[in-house]
Amino acid sequence: MTLLEQRYRNVLKLLPASYRAEREEEMVAAFLEAYDAPDETGPRPPWGEIFSVAALAVRVRLSWRPRGAAWGETVRLTALFGIGLQAVLSSATLMSALADPLSDRLYEAANLGLAICWLLAFATLARGAVRPARSLALAGLAFTVFQQVAITLAFGDIAFESWLGTTSMAVVAALALLLGHHGGSTTPVLPWLVIVPAMAVGLVYYVSASVLTSGPAPGLDESWMWIWPWASGEGVAALLLTVGSVSALTRRPVHAPAALALGVLGLPLLASRLPLLLDHQFSQAIVISGAAQLALLGVLVPALWVRGLRAMPSSGREDPRAVL
């Protein structure tokens, strides 16, 4: 390697590594065709060439913005979808708390607290009021964790399903809400016509679950076993994620941030369904139905990641070799 080549390669280090991996050899070849000189003369790249590389480095780095913006939107949608899910579950919790109050007042208060906080967090976030949404989501998360700890202590058994599922999803959603919104980000505002029905899904869930569990019909127990993996909080989350995933994956073109946000939330949900298969205390019907749900999520979640990542906007600079 000549001295001039070595010095020009040093200049090229101004460019991002990924750009150099693609272009460095080609640029060095073009440069040396124009300027090659023996080492004895102590050649250096002309200032004009150095400035042109510096300008290219700035342009390439700035052109990464579209991808950065898409990732930002992914984080914000993760917060919106995750908190929306908590709101759906909270509608059912609220109905249950009002219809059938528990004897443990502290637990009951936590139940009411988390339901109200998550519902209000979703409503404020969906209306674009990020700051109150953050406080409410953090309060909702605190109530959720308290409730989980209380259940774990009361039953002396760690409820892996809930910890891995809805609780982890609540943590992910709250973190996304803290990280995804900043001064320069745009906050979409949803109409009440979308917000209210979204929250009302929880009421449908509550009524359906009540009907299923209260009927005296013979053989109900066996039917309930088949439905059970879809009727818990994680089951409803799996059902909603399935609907959302099918909608996201069939949309043309795929909206990358929406697909990835669902993919992010799908990971803890997927993990939460594993205990259904590993715990031998469950009946065969629950295990089979749970396995089917796990298989469904096992297909949808990776598909969301793959399609989402493929649909992410490029860095603003297409690789010309791609069209060869």
- The residues that touch another protein, with contacts defined as CB under 8 A, are 23, 25-34, 48-49, 51-56, 59-60, 316-321, 323-324
| Shortest reach from residue 41's CB to another protein, in Å | 20
Give the residue among 94, 96, 7, 118 at the shortest CA–CA distance from 53. 7
Q: What secondary structure does DSSP assign to 85-121, as a single string?
A: HHHHHHHHHHHHHHHS--S-HHHHHHHHHHHHHHHHH
| Shortest reach from residue 71's CB to another protein, in Å | 20
Distance in angstroms (rounded) separating the CA atoms of residues 145 and 151: 10
How many residues are present in the chain?
324
Give the residue among 175, 150, 145 at the shortest CA–CA distance from 163. 145
Cβ nearer to another protein, comparing 5 with 234: 5
Query: Dihedral through CA 150, CA 159, CA 91, CA 290, nearest 10?
Result: -170
321 DSSP 8-state letter: G
Cβ nearer to another protein, comparing 24 with 129: 24
Cβ nearer to another protein, comparing 33 with 40: 33
145's tokens: 């964790």
| Shortest reach from residue 322's CB to another protein, in Å | 8
| Shortest reach from residue 17's CB to another protein, in Å | 16
Cβ nearer to another protein, comparing 15 with 248: 15
Cβ nearer to another protein, comparing 8 with 122: 8
| Shortest reach from residue 256's CB to another protein, in Å | 18
Cβ nearer to another protein, comparing 67 with 127: 67
| Shortest reach from residue 254's CB to another protein, in Å | 21
Express the helix, strand and coil content of the chain in percent, nearest 5 each.
80, 0, 20
| Shortest reach from residue 19's CB to another protein, in Å | 9
Task: Bin 263: left if φ > 0, else alpha if -120 < ψ < 50, else beta.
Answer: alpha
Distance in angstroms (rounded) separating the CA atoms of residues 181 and 97: 33
Cβ nearer to another protein, comparing 59 with 251: 59
